[in-house]
Chains A and B, each alone.
Chain A
Amino acid sequence: GAVVSQHPSRVICKSGTSVKIECRSLDFQATTMFWYRQFPKQSLMLMATSNEGSKATYEQGVEKDKFLINHASLTLSTLTVTSAHPEDSSFYICSAVSGTGSTDTQYFGPGTRLTVL
Protein backbone atom coordinates (compact mmCIF):
# COMPACT_ATOMS: atom_id res chain seq x y z
CA GLY A 1 0.00 0.00 0.00
CA ALA A 2 0.79 3.71 0.14
CA VAL A 3 1.83 4.16 -3.46
CA VAL A 4 2.35 7.57 -4.99
CA SER A 5 2.74 8.00 -8.71
CA GLN A 6 4.06 10.90 -10.75
CA HIS A 7 3.54 11.64 -14.40
CA PRO A 8 5.47 12.18 -16.53
CA SER A 9 8.71 10.62 -15.30
CA ARG A 10 10.73 12.68 -17.75
CA VAL A 11 9.91 15.74 -19.79
CA ILE A 12 11.95 17.86 -22.13
CA CYS A 13 10.51 21.18 -23.22
CA LYS A 14 11.49 24.38 -24.93
CA SER A 15 12.14 27.54 -23.01
CA GLY A 16 8.98 29.58 -22.52
CA THR A 17 6.56 26.68 -22.49
CA SER A 18 4.61 25.39 -19.50
CA VAL A 19 4.84 21.92 -18.08
CA LYS A 20 2.35 20.16 -15.83
CA ILE A 21 3.39 17.38 -13.46
CA GLU A 22 0.80 15.16 -11.80
CA CYS A 23 1.10 13.52 -8.42
CA ARG A 24 -1.40 10.84 -7.45
CA SER A 25 -1.89 8.81 -4.30
CA LEU A 26 -3.07 5.48 -5.68
CA ASP A 27 -4.37 3.65 -2.66
CA PHE A 28 -5.00 6.25 -0.01
CA GLN A 29 -6.46 9.70 0.37
CA ALA A 30 -3.85 12.37 0.82
CA THR A 31 -4.89 15.26 3.01
CA THR A 32 -1.57 16.92 2.39
CA MET A 33 0.85 16.78 -0.50
CA PHE A 34 4.32 18.24 -0.69
CA TRP A 35 6.34 19.33 -3.68
CA TYR A 36 10.11 19.17 -3.58
CA ARG A 37 12.88 20.11 -5.91
CA GLN A 38 16.20 18.32 -5.90
CA PHE A 39 19.36 19.58 -7.52
CA PRO A 40 22.11 17.13 -8.47
CA LYS A 41 23.87 15.63 -5.48
CA GLN A 42 21.85 17.72 -3.06
CA SER A 43 19.11 17.16 -0.56
CA LEU A 44 15.47 17.90 -1.17
CA MET A 45 14.26 21.45 -1.12
CA LEU A 46 10.65 21.89 -0.07
CA MET A 47 8.83 24.12 -2.51
CA ALA A 48 5.29 24.09 -1.21
CA THR A 49 2.73 22.30 0.90
CA SER A 50 -0.76 21.79 -0.44
CA ASN A 51 -3.90 20.75 1.34
CA GLU A 52 -6.89 19.51 -0.59
CA GLY A 53 -9.29 22.28 -1.41
CA SER A 54 -7.14 25.15 -0.24
CA LYS A 55 -4.32 27.28 -1.58
CA ALA A 56 -0.82 25.93 -1.37
CA THR A 57 1.65 27.32 1.12
CA TYR A 58 4.90 28.23 -0.61
CA GLU A 59 8.30 28.28 0.98
CA GLN A 60 10.27 31.46 1.04
CA GLY A 61 11.92 32.18 -2.27
CA VAL A 62 9.57 30.01 -4.32
CA GLU A 63 7.58 32.01 -6.86
CA LYS A 64 3.92 31.05 -6.55
CA ASP A 65 3.09 32.51 -9.96
CA LYS A 66 5.75 30.42 -11.61
CA PHE A 67 5.08 27.16 -9.82
CA LEU A 68 1.32 26.74 -9.79
CA ILE A 69 0.01 24.05 -7.49
CA ASN A 70 -3.49 22.66 -7.56
CA HIS A 71 -4.70 20.06 -5.08
CA ALA A 72 -8.12 19.47 -6.54
CA SER A 73 -8.90 16.16 -4.89
CA LEU A 74 -7.68 13.91 -2.12
CA THR A 75 -5.74 11.83 -4.60
CA LEU A 76 -4.37 14.36 -7.07
CA SER A 77 -2.10 17.36 -6.92
CA THR A 78 -0.53 19.07 -9.91
CA LEU A 79 2.51 21.30 -10.25
CA THR A 80 2.65 23.51 -13.33
CA VAL A 81 5.94 25.15 -14.18
CA THR A 82 4.92 28.20 -16.18
CA SER A 83 7.14 29.80 -18.79
CA ALA A 84 9.91 27.36 -18.03
CA HIS A 85 13.55 28.39 -18.39
CA PRO A 86 16.73 26.33 -18.36
CA GLU A 87 17.34 27.18 -14.70
CA ASP A 88 14.06 25.39 -13.89
CA SER A 89 15.61 22.12 -15.04
CA SER A 90 15.63 19.87 -12.02
CA PHE A 91 14.24 16.73 -10.42
CA TYR A 92 10.79 17.39 -8.99
CA ILE A 93 9.43 15.03 -6.37
CA CYS A 94 6.05 14.97 -4.68
CA SER A 95 5.01 13.27 -1.49
CA ALA A 96 1.67 12.57 0.11
CA VAL A 97 0.48 12.11 3.66
CA SER A 98 -2.80 10.58 4.70
CA GLY A 99 -3.08 12.19 8.08
CA THR A 100 -2.15 15.44 9.76
CA GLY A 101 -0.08 14.15 12.65
CA SER A 102 3.63 14.51 13.21
CA THR A 103 4.25 10.77 12.96
CA ASP A 104 2.50 10.35 9.64
CA THR A 105 4.80 9.06 6.96
CA GLN A 106 5.35 10.96 3.75
CA TYR A 107 5.16 8.63 0.79
CA PHE A 108 7.12 9.79 -2.19
CA GLY A 109 6.53 9.64 -5.87
CA PRO A 110 9.29 8.44 -8.19
CA GLY A 111 10.08 11.96 -9.33
CA THR A 112 9.94 13.87 -12.60
CA ARG A 113 13.08 14.90 -14.44
CA LEU A 114 12.46 18.24 -16.16
CA THR A 115 14.89 19.47 -18.78
CA VAL A 116 14.29 22.88 -20.29
CA LEU A 117 16.19 23.56 -23.48
Chain B
Amino acid sequence: AQSVTQLGSHVSVSEGALVLLRCNYSSSVPPYLFWYVQYPNQGLQLLLKYTSAATLVKGINGFEAEFKKSETSFHLTKPSAHMSDAAEYFCAVTSLTDSNYQLIWGAGTKLIIKP
Protein backbone atom coordinates (compact mmCIF):
# COMPACT_ATOMS: atom_id res chain seq x y z
CA ALA B 1 0.00 0.00 0.00
CA GLN B 2 1.12 3.50 -0.72
CA SER B 3 1.68 6.12 1.96
CA VAL B 4 3.11 9.61 2.23
CA THR B 5 4.89 11.28 5.12
CA GLN B 6 5.51 14.99 5.27
CA LEU B 7 8.03 15.93 7.92
CA GLY B 8 7.10 19.08 9.76
CA SER B 9 3.55 20.34 10.03
CA HIS B 10 4.93 23.89 9.98
CA VAL B 11 8.01 25.29 8.29
CA SER B 12 9.07 28.87 8.82
CA VAL B 13 11.63 30.64 6.61
CA SER B 14 12.66 34.22 6.06
CA GLU B 15 11.76 35.99 2.86
CA GLY B 16 14.53 35.35 0.35
CA ALA B 17 15.71 32.17 2.07
CA LEU B 18 15.68 28.64 0.70
CA VAL B 19 12.44 26.71 1.04
CA LEU B 20 12.67 22.97 1.69
CA LEU B 21 9.54 20.93 2.31
CA ARG B 22 10.11 17.25 2.92
CA CYS B 23 8.09 14.36 1.54
CA ASN B 24 8.84 10.66 1.84
CA TYR B 25 6.73 7.99 0.28
CA SER B 26 6.17 4.29 0.52
CA SER B 27 5.07 2.41 -2.55
CA SER B 28 5.18 -1.18 -3.73
CA VAL B 29 5.08 -0.08 -7.37
CA PRO B 30 6.82 2.74 -9.24
CA PRO B 31 5.21 5.84 -7.76
CA TYR B 32 3.74 8.86 -9.39
CA LEU B 33 4.12 11.82 -7.07
CA PHE B 34 2.47 15.20 -6.85
CA TRP B 35 2.86 18.44 -4.93
CA TYR B 36 -0.18 20.64 -4.47
CA VAL B 37 -0.50 24.04 -2.83
CA GLN B 38 -3.55 25.34 -1.00
CA TYR B 39 -3.97 29.02 -0.24
CA PRO B 40 -6.30 29.97 2.63
CA ASN B 41 -9.95 29.11 2.00
CA GLN B 42 -9.22 27.90 -1.51
CA GLY B 43 -9.01 24.61 -3.35
CA LEU B 44 -5.76 22.95 -4.34
CA GLN B 45 -3.51 23.88 -7.20
CA LEU B 46 -1.01 21.54 -8.82
CA LEU B 47 2.57 22.69 -8.35
CA LEU B 48 4.29 19.84 -10.11
CA LYS B 49 4.22 16.11 -10.67
CA TYR B 50 6.69 13.30 -11.17
CA THR B 51 5.78 10.67 -13.74
CA SER B 52 9.18 9.01 -14.32
CA ALA B 53 10.16 11.18 -17.29
CA ALA B 54 12.80 13.10 -15.31
CA THR B 55 13.89 12.93 -11.70
CA LEU B 56 14.12 16.72 -11.33
CA VAL B 57 10.74 18.25 -11.91
CA LYS B 58 10.16 21.96 -12.31
CA GLY B 59 6.82 23.42 -11.40
CA ILE B 60 5.05 26.71 -11.20
CA ASN B 61 6.06 29.70 -9.09
CA GLY B 62 9.73 28.71 -9.10
CA PHE B 63 9.27 25.45 -7.22
CA GLU B 64 10.99 22.22 -8.11
CA ALA B 65 11.22 18.74 -6.64
CA GLU B 66 13.67 15.90 -7.06
CA PHE B 67 12.65 12.27 -7.05
CA LYS B 68 15.21 10.13 -5.22
CA LYS B 69 14.35 6.47 -5.37
CA SER B 70 17.15 5.41 -3.02
CA GLU B 71 15.82 7.75 -0.36
CA THR B 72 12.12 7.29 -1.27
CA SER B 73 11.87 11.06 -1.20
CA PHE B 74 10.31 13.81 -3.26
CA HIS B 75 11.26 17.00 -1.44
CA LEU B 76 10.00 20.36 -2.67
CA THR B 77 12.38 23.31 -2.91
CA LYS B 78 12.49 26.93 -3.96
CA PRO B 79 15.73 28.93 -3.92
CA SER B 80 14.24 32.16 -2.61
CA ALA B 81 11.03 32.42 -0.64
CA HIS B 82 8.49 35.11 -1.37
CA MET B 83 5.74 36.33 0.91
CA SER B 84 3.17 35.03 -1.56
CA ASP B 85 4.46 31.48 -1.03
CA ALA B 86 2.80 31.34 2.37
CA ALA B 87 0.31 28.49 2.07
CA GLU B 88 -0.28 24.84 2.88
CA TYR B 89 1.60 22.33 0.77
CA PHE B 90 0.51 18.74 0.23
CA CYS B 91 2.50 15.84 -1.17
CA ALA B 92 0.57 12.95 -2.71
CA VAL B 93 1.18 9.60 -4.41
CA THR B 94 -1.19 7.74 -6.69
CA SER B 95 -2.75 4.49 -5.65
CA LEU B 96 -4.84 2.11 -7.72
CA THR B 97 -8.05 1.15 -5.96
CA ASP B 98 -10.91 -0.73 -7.59
CA SER B 99 -9.75 0.35 -11.05
CA ASN B 100 -9.61 4.01 -10.06
CA TYR B 101 -6.44 5.92 -9.36
CA GLN B 102 -6.69 7.81 -6.11
CA LEU B 103 -4.30 10.18 -4.44
CA ILE B 104 -2.86 9.23 -1.09
CA TRP B 105 -2.18 12.47 0.76
CA GLY B 106 0.42 13.59 3.20
CA ALA B 107 -0.75 15.53 6.22
CA GLY B 108 0.39 18.82 4.76
CA THR B 109 3.04 21.38 5.68
CA LYS B 110 2.17 24.96 6.41
CA LEU B 111 4.81 27.28 5.02
CA ILE B 112 5.25 30.51 6.96
CA ILE B 113 7.29 33.32 5.47
CA LYS B 114 8.89 35.80 7.84
CA PRO B 115 9.50 39.34 6.59
Contact = CB atoms under 8 A, between A and B. Distances in A.
Interface in A78-117: 91, 93, 95, 97, 100-111, 113
Contact of A49 (B36, B42, B102, B108): B102
A40 B33 CA distance: 24
B32 A102 contact: yes
Nearest to B31: A102
Contacts, number: 59
Category for how many chain B residues contact A: 20 to 34
Interface in A13-43: 32, 34, 42-43
A97 B106 CA distance: 20
B14 to A, nearest CB: 23
B98 A109 contact: no
The SS class assigned to the B binding surface is strand
Contact of B100 (A4, A49, A111): A49
Contact of B46 (A57, A101, A102, A105): A105
Interface string B11-49: 000000000000000000000101010000111111001
B101 A43 contact: no
Nearest to A107: B46
The SS class assigned to the A binding surface is strand
Contact of A103 (B46, B49, B98, B99): B49
B96 interface: yes
Contacts of A75: none
A6 interface: yes
A51 interface: yes
Given A93-B44, A111-B41, A32 B100 contact: yes
Contacts of A101: 101
Interface in B48-96: 49, 51, 90, 94, 96
A46 interface: yes
B105 to A, nearest CB: 5
